[in-house]
Structure 1
Amino acid sequence: MVIHQIKGEWETRDAKLVPYRDHIQKLIDQFERIDFYHNPREDNQLDDALATLSSMFQIDGNEMSVIRIASKDQPTYCCEIESESDGQPWYHDIMTYLKSKEYSPRATENEKRTL
């Protein structure tokens, strides 16, 4: 919707959006060339995350914060989960119980109820 409004294809009727449209129009004049593309909602996850991140930063003058994006070859949770003190991953006791229906010898009663 916003892309169509910026391109002048649609009218901006929502009074809350008019200041944003006007601001974008001023920014457009600062570029030699600018293209706008519509991304369907299902392809919009990265765009949504970037919009959320950008709303968290305050811009001081002409200085902007750099947002670095890195691609991982495995899911993020694999990078964040540390092994237990026995060297096994945190889910080891759960997997053992699911396979053998036996609790870990060191499991407390509370841990057994949780499993």
Structure 2
Amino acid sequence: MADALATLASMFQLTPHEDFPYIEFRCRSKPAHCCLIEEEQDGKLWYFDIKRYVEYKEYPQGASDNDKRTLRRLAVGFFLSGGILYKRNHDMVLLRCVDAKEAE
């Protein structure tokens, strides 16, 4: 927390006779990154394209060369076994990919 505050403080240039800006903090019941997750517009799971590429080496329709390169790079970190997609962890532990509804 101290590092985050120091970083924020370094972003402001203050003069002696101005009002000082304040920073408001709010406690969240879940991690902040979970608040930014949006549902896919097409209704597919977040890992659908990765799984399809790992299983069939197929790209999404209309994918650009950059999208294809990114998908290949992402797919290296995943493993498919028995139709279940696993994410390889840095210490080779396999983490099962599930959607938010299945996790609840």
Q: TM-score range by the shorter chain?
A: 0.3 to 0.5
With normalisation by structure 2, the TM-score equals 0.44
- Greater Cα radius of gyration, structure 1 or 2: 1
Question: Higher strand share goes to which structure?
Answer: 2
